[in-house]
């Protein structure tokens, strides 16, 4: 059973701070890792994908992958109230293109 | 790029009727589309995977005769909820995987909120 674990939160950070969201996965053969943002009542939106160990930066977002420790994280710099949403981690493995989603972490950025 | 649309965005129907939801990839061809269901404050639940020109693969516990999926072209998949009941009320979301890319990125449609009265 492939599992993707996220702390449900909520994670509350002040505006301007760095928000750190974490995700662990059980299948050591996992190959593709994704972060989606989902606003309340809306569908998920892909914000980052990462495939190799290390950091990948895109604007205020940085994804960090550590396959040895089986975790992937998302850092949001200069957090804004508009970043308040649920962040879903998704992982594919074993040659499958069907991702396993975590339950999501709720992020609240307060002014 | 990578825009996926869904229609309708919201539908209310009476118990016992059927509802069809369309999912279209607008600016790319999608070999594979996925159908998810999400109840309030719950995680995404994959219902089925549909590939163009072949039968859909349903997840365990999802009734294929109740949730009919047709992937008629590389840009269109439909989900028909047959004989809908109030417990089928949910947020239905499709996603599409871009054809030809090695990456496994999925792009989601905006979702369809179904209410069965």
Measure the CA–CA gap between A24 and A110, rounded to whole angstroms. 26
Closest CA to B1 of B107, B113, B84, B116: B107
* Cα four-point dihedral sign A80, A59, B26, B49: negative
Measure the CA–CA gap between A7 and A27, rounded to whole angstroms. 18
User: What confidence tens digit (pLDDT) does each residue in B11-23 have?
Assistant: 999 999 999 999 9
Cβ contact (<8 Å) for B108 and A43? yes
User: What confidence tens digit (pLDDT) does each residue in A47-104 have?
Assistant: 999 999 999 999 999 999 999 999 999 999 999 999 999 999 999 987 778 889 999 9
Interface of B with A in 39-98 (CB under 8 A): 43-44, 46, 49, 91, 93, 97
Closest CA to A7 of A20, A18, A19, A23: A23
| Three-state DSSP class for residue A16 | coil
Strand order in the sheet with B4-7: B4-7, B19-25, B76-81, B67-73
User: What confidence tens digit (pLDDT) does each residue in B28-41 have?
Assistant: 888 889 999 999 88
Contact B95, B4 (CB under 8 A): yes
Closest-approach residue (CA) in chain A for B32: A97
Closest-approach residue (CA) in chain B for A32: B104
Closest-approach residue (CA) in chain B for A40: B41
CB-closest option in B43, B105, B109 to A34: B105
Tokens of B66: 């109740």
């Amino acid at each position: 059973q492939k599992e993707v674990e996220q702390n449900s939160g909520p994670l509350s950070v002040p505006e301007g701070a760095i928000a750190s969201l974490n995700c662990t996965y059980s299948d050591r053969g996992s190959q593709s890792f994704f972060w989606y943002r989902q606003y309340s009542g809306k569908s998920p939106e892909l914000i980052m994908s990462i495939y190799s160990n290390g950091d990948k930066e895109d604007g205020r977002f940085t994804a960090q992958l550590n396959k040895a420790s089986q975790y992937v994280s998302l850092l949001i710099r200069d957090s804004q109230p508009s970043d308040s949403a649920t962040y879903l981690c998704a992982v594919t493995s074993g040659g499958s293109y069907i991702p396993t989603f975590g339950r999501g972490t709720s992020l609240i950025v307060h002014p | 790029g990578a825009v996926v649309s869904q229609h309708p965005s919201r539908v209310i129907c009476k118990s016992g009727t059927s509802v069809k939801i369309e999912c279209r990839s607008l600016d790319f061809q999608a070999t594979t589309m996925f159908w998810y269901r999400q109840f309030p404050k719950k995680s995404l639940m994959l219902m089925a995977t549909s590939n163009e020109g072949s039968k859909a693969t349903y997840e365990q516990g999802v009734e294929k005769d109740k949730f009919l999926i047709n992937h008629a072209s590389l840009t269109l998949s439909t989900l028909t909820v047959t004989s809908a009941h109030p417990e089928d009320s949910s947020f239905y979301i499709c996603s599409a995987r871009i054809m030809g890319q090695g990456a496994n990125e999925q792009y989601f449609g905006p979702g369809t909120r179904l209410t069965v009265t």
